[in-house]
Amino acid sequence: MRSLRLAIGWIVALVVLAAGALLLWGLAKGRPQDLPWTPLDLAEPIGLFTGRKLTGLTQDFPQCRALLTRAGVRYTVLPARDGGGRCGYADGVRFATGGAQAIAYRPPGLGVACPVAAALSMWEWDVVQPAALARFGSRVVAIDHFGSYSCRRIYGRDAGTWSEHATADAVDIAGFRLADGTRITVAGDWQGDGAKARFLREVRDGACRLFATTLSPDYNAAHRDHLHLDQANRGSTGWRACR
d(CA 91, CA 115): 8
pLDDT at 101: 79
Task: Characterise 215 by phi-psi region: left (phi > 0), alpha (psi -120 to 50), beta (else).
Answer: beta
- pLDDT block averages, 10 residues each, the chain of length 243: 60 60 55 88 95 93 97 96 92 87 91 97 97 98 97 92 95 98 98 97 98 97 97 62 92
Nearest to 31 by CA among 9, 10, 48, 13: 48
- Domain regions of the chain by residue span: 48-242
- The answer for residues whose C-beta is within 8 angstroms of residue 89's C-beta and 6 or more apart is 78, 80, 81, 113, 149, 167, 168, 169
User: pLDDT tens digits for 116-148?
Assistant: 999 999 999 999 999 999 999 999 999 999 999
